[in-house]
Chain A
Amino acid sequence: MTKSSGAEVKTRGHILIDDVVKVYDPEGAAVMAVDHCSLEIEAGEICMIVGPSGCGKTTLLNAIAGFHEITSGRILLDGEVLCSAQKPKAEPGPDRIVVFQNGALFPWKTNLENVVFGPVMQGRMTKAEALDRGRAMMADAGLAGVEHNYPGEVSSGMRRRVEIVRALMNDPAVLLLDEPYRALDSLTKSVMHEALLEIYYKNKVTIFFITHDLEEAIFLGHRVAIMTTRPCKPKKLLTVDIPHPRDYSVLTSKRFRELMQETSEAVHEEARKAFQAGEKEG
């Protein structure tokens, strides 16, 4: 429950994706979404998953979260099997919280009620404790003053931050972010990137972040996994050797440009493949 000060080594949140295959079988026409995908994510790492829309990266996220089944292979969290061929669907739990693409704050609960939902449901805190902690966390994330507003009353950038705070309140081992900033304009997005890093520096949770925006990926991630399109597996793994903490000056640095150059070819190639495949299907 206590926030790590930043220096200590994280012992929770190690993910091992081991030879995972996912085959969708609607009407007998088997479609391979994930093809023998293996990826290891260190505890406390920000791992960015980059790939064109519909490439199968969300399938992977849903498998970790326990929303969808896998066909074969296995996924481990801190050495424990989440899902495997024998147990194709992981049990959803507070150790793996998803921040959804368009947000999934409960519109009928105020921001603060949303934030305290997890710990109260799990019986980990009393309502009063959760409210105290929720208020503190919200203030930390620059959300003081909107505690008693409904999500519909605040900007979409704020909503996304509330949702990240709601996720962190569960003290998760892993945050699973599924293109959380997709619907935001680029200015709000840049603010949100720095806010996410700030929250991360305070909480040091493992982040599994799906995006199709390479710039976002390199700016935020320790590592960037560029995925092939349908079936999905890592095509190229990039270690971003720009030291954390980072701020927006990174974007104009020479190293950032070099890394962009190094990887954009691979991303573009997959995007073109996805586009052509889409044309064929359509």
Chain B
Amino acid sequence: MARSRHISGRAIWRGMLSIVIFLVLWEIGSRSKIWLAWDVFSPLREVLGAAGFKKTYLPWIGSVPPPSSVAKAWMGVIGQAGYWQSWYMSFQRVLGGFVAAMLIGIPYGLMLAVSRTAHGINFPVFEALRPIPPLAWVPASIIFWPTQELAIMFITFLGAFYTIVINVVGGAKSIDGRFFQAAQSMGASKWDIFKRIVLPGTLPSIMVGSAVGMGITWEVVVAAEMISGGGSQMGGSGGGLGFFIWNSYVGGSYEQIVVGMISIGIAGYLSSELLRSLGTYVTPWLRVR
């Protein structure tokens, strides 16, 4: 996480080339049906047909809108308030759930790591609930919480919470025992040891857990928005990026589906990048070498 992030000119050039080639291939693939009455899977499809299978068993890349149409659709929505409202809604839910997961998960994890009693009492229940996928909570959560907004936030909270707690517990427990012995010899009190050894010693794991948790949060929020119909109040394009995609699908605007997908990709990337810089900032000693 704290590797030196020096990128050479050649690496940038390669990265851009890779993206351009990807877009070109995508464009050709999508348009092949129109241009050539043939798409990349056509030969395979013929082989399958000859072997007695249905020709429709293979995906049809000609159905995917080409990047040029996606770009055009994107230009269309980029000026609309509804599109940005979707961003705002999703970010709000992700952030709400994620911050709650950090605020509750970090102290909770530290408590489990420090106190054997707390661990004994809490961990069995924690471990029993952990395997339940956050999305399985959607119906119960909608019943349980007064507003659908809170319900969705709760689901995103769950997505990040378990990962953060597990990482905090693991991180705190893997702190070298000699650090405690050294601090104790030098006259540190229990509180000092917690503040000056346990906390900074766990910080790298907290940041790793948060980065992973943030990724899960985005996965979860999109699905939760699709299932719950994008929250109660707004509906339509005001229901977050997940609902934006679903709505585009229902409305038959395939270009917009892809716009939504890419938007979520960007949103997720921005969140991770933000966390990464935060992580590098709070753990300066890992920046070295």
Contacts and interface: CB of A to CB of B under 8 A. Distances in A.
B131 interface: no
Given A121-B192, A122-B187, A150-B284, A104 B176 contact: yes
A6 interface: no
Nearest to B186: A118
A152 B179 contact: no
Tell me if B's interface is mostly helix, strand, loop or mixed. helix
A96 interface: yes
B187 A121 contact: yes
A67 B204 CA distance: 27
A73 interface: no
A97 B185 contact: yes
**Centre residue among A98, A102, A117, A153 by max chain B CB count within 10 A:** A117
Contacts of B11: none
A54 interface: no
B104 to A, nearest CB: 24
Nearest to B285: A150
Interface in B186-218: 186-189, 192, 196-197, 200-201, 203
Contacts of A102: 178
Contacts of B187: 93-94, 118, 121-122, 170
A107 interface: yes
B181 A98 contact: yes
Nearest to A105: B182
A92 interface: yes
A104 B176 CA distance: 8
A256 interface: no
B114 to A, nearest CB: 18
B184 interface: yes
Interface in A77-128: 92-94, 96-98, 100, 102, 104, 106-109, 117-118, 121-122
Contacts of A47: none
Contacts of A106: 179, 182-183, 196-197, 200
Interface string B255-286: 00000000000000000000000000001111
A66 B186 CA distance: 12
Given A106-B179, A106-B197, A108-B200, A94 B185 contact: yes
A109 B200 CA distance: 9
Nearest to A102: B178
A207 to B, nearest CB: 16
B200 A94 contact: no
Contact of B178 (A100, A149, A150): A100
The 7 closest A-B pairs by CB, nearest first: A118-B186, A122-B187, A104-B178, A108-B200, A150-B285, A153-B288, A104-B182
24 contacts: A65-B185, A66-B185, A92-B184, A94-B187, A96-B185, A97-B185, A97-B186, A98-B182, A100-B181, A104-B178, A104-B179, A104-B181, A104-B182, A106-B182, A108-B285, A109-B200, A117-B196, A118-B187, A121-B192, A122-B186, A122-B187, A149-B288, A150-B284, A152-B289
